[in-house]
Structure 1
Amino acid sequence: LGGMMIEMIQNADLSILHAIQGAASPALDTLMVAFTTAGEYGAVWVLLAVAMIAAGKHRTYGFAILTAIALVVLFGEIGLKHLIARPRPFLLDPSLATTLVTLPDSYSCPSGHTASSFAAATVLCLTPLVHRWLKPVAVGTAGIIGFSRLYLCVHNPTDVLFGAVVGTVCGVAAVAIVRKIAEALHNGKAQA
């Protein structure tokens, strides 16, 4: 029963990827490669975190973004990916292999690009920002980075969904951790 269920999910995933490929265009190729590149190793989010730390106003949340990405690497990339050991979609269906990006040789689930993006976006949603419009922009950017992984057929839809869940959990955990540390440091200074 478990094997049949996994096969049904895999078939549905591959069908969705083929449907997305039907909408491919040179303009979308360029856009999706740009978003995937921005999400590589959480690059766009790390830069944002460093800028927040440097600016000083939301320093705690900048550290929370870095913590969230570290949790994604630890639990998603090092832990879950090797535990689940799911092959990339283009290995199951070679017609999905793209020449737009270098094909990854790691396992597929969860999507690291998606997880780190949703981890950072979750932290930003929990940040008391004056410009509230930045929150949906962050979530939208995370969503497009996740979609870019489907467009390029380097992940299955379920890998991206699971990546979004892992990232959201890591983002919430990171904010809780960093807030506790900031509180402890503040209390330590107050007692000193």
Structure 2
Amino acid sequence: MAGLASDGSNPDVSLLYDINGLAREAPPWFDRVMGFVGEYGIMLGLVLVALGCWWSVRRRGTLTDSVTALSGLVWAPLAAGIALLVNIPIRGFVERPRPFKDHEGLDVLVDGKTDFSFVSDHATMAMAIGVGIFVAHRKFGLAAIALAFAEGFCRVYMGVHYPTDVIGGFALGTAAALLLAPVALALLTPLVSAVARSRHGARLVRSRSAAERCTLPETLGVPEQRMGSAEKDLAA
């Protein structure tokens, strides 16, 4: 794709200069922080949100609720991986250079970006994980989606992506996480249910204290007697 005009006639480029211009005006230490946050920090934050979601859902509600939520949580990184795979041919087809290759005066905060720009892998992955966590738990999902939006801002601030690269990443990540969710959950729920019924994997799905509070057997597509035995294993 040919370079875009930088005379203000293209809103994508104008917004790029406006956001990246903040980096030129910020102190060097702040730019270093933003570079780290945009490259690694927000992804680490998404991992922490996912861990917090896991810790919460295994301690609250019923066993059925925990299995359903954890199935969605397992889907989140899988959706991100699928979205990144889909992005490989998209990048190869569009062949959009990084903005700093076509436009002068940008403050680029990270080195080594030699691949194509559209769409942003970081924005795609962050939004896919955020929407996947939202499928599992709305409160944690909203926090994850907020981090995904922050990731998109950082990528433009760092001078390595156009705003439309980020928007495309958001769209791709959301589509992968939502459109494939019904099939993914249909496959993952029985697997997580099997883990919940196992002796050694049950605590990954349900905490001991939550299992002890459960006084009635729950059904997850298995006989009631078997589910009661699983709850006893969890409480052991």
Whole-Å Cα distance in 2 between the matches of residues 68 and 160 of structure 1?
Answer: 17
Q: Which residue type is aligned with residue 90 of structure 2?
A: L
Quote the residue 2:147 is aligned against.
Answer: 141
1:62 positional shift: 2.7
What is the TM-score when the length of structure 2 is the normalising length?
0.64
TM-score (norm 1): 0.77
Alignment match, 2:31: 29
Rg larger for: 2
Letter of the 2:173 counterpart:
G
State how 1:117-156 maps to structure 2 within 5 Å: 117-128=126-137, 132=139, 134-156=140-162
Measured at CA, do residues 120 and 174 of structure 1 come closer, stay the same or move farther in structure 2, by a change above 3 Å? farther
Contact 2:21-2:107 within 8 A present in 1 as well: no
- Shift of residue 60 of structure 1? 1.4
Contact 1:39 1:145 in 2 (8 A): no
Is this contact kept in 2: 1:53–1:63, CA < 8 A? Answer: no
For CA contacts below 8 A with separation 6 or more, give which structure has more relative contact order: 1
The CA distance in 1 between the partners of 2:221 and 2:164, in whole Å, is 46
The residue aligned with 2:174 is: 168
Give the equivalent residue in structure 2 for 1:84: 94
Instruction: Give the SS at the match of 2:161.
Output: coil
Paired-residue identity, %: 25
CA contact (8 A) 1:35 1:144 kept: no
Residues 178 and 46 of structure 1: is their aligned pair in 2 closer, same or farther, counting only changes over 3 Å? farther
Gaps of 5+ in 2: 59-68, 195-219, 224-236
* Structure 2 residue corresponding to 1:116, chosen from 94, 105, 125: 125
Would you say the 8 A contact 1:89–1:156 is kept in 2? yes
Any gaps of 5 or more consecutive residues in structure 1?
none
Q: Secondary structure at the match of 1:95?
A: coil
Shift of 1:135: 3.0
Offset at 1:138?
A: 1.4
Q: Which residue is 2:14 aligned to? A: 15
Equivalent residue pairs, number: 182
Work out whether residues 114 and 142 of structure 1, in 8 Å CA contact, stay in contact via their aligned partners in 2: yes
**Alpha-carbon spacing, 1:60–1:104, altered in 2? closer, same or farther (3 Å):** same
Q: Secondary structure at the match of 2:184?
A: helix
1:106 aligns with 2:115: yes
What is the CA deviation profile of residues 95-142 of structure 1, one whole-angstrom value per residue up to 9, with x for unaligned ones?
2152x312411100011111111111111222235xx2x333212111
CA distance change for structure 1 residues 45 and 114 in 2, over 3 Å: closer, same or farther? same
Give the C-alpha shift of residue 21 in structure 1. Answer: 2.9
Q: Distance in 2 between matches of 1:176 and 1:79?
A: 25
Distance 1:71 1:117, change over 3 A: same
Among 43, 54, 62, the alignment partner of 2:73 is: 62
| Shift in alpha-carbon separation, 1:46–1:106, aligned structure 2, 3 A | farther
Classify 1:113/1:88 alpha carbon distance in 2 versus 1 (closer, same or farther; 3 Å).
same
Q: CA separation of 1:28/1:20 partners in 2, compared to 1, >3 Å: closer, same or farther?
A: farther
Letter in 2 for 1:165: A
Task: Give RMSD over aligned pairs.
Answer: 3.3
The answer to which structure has the higher helix fraction is 1
Alpha carbons 1:104, 1:154 under 8 Å: kept: yes
Cα distance between partner residues in 2 of 1:56 and 1:139:
18
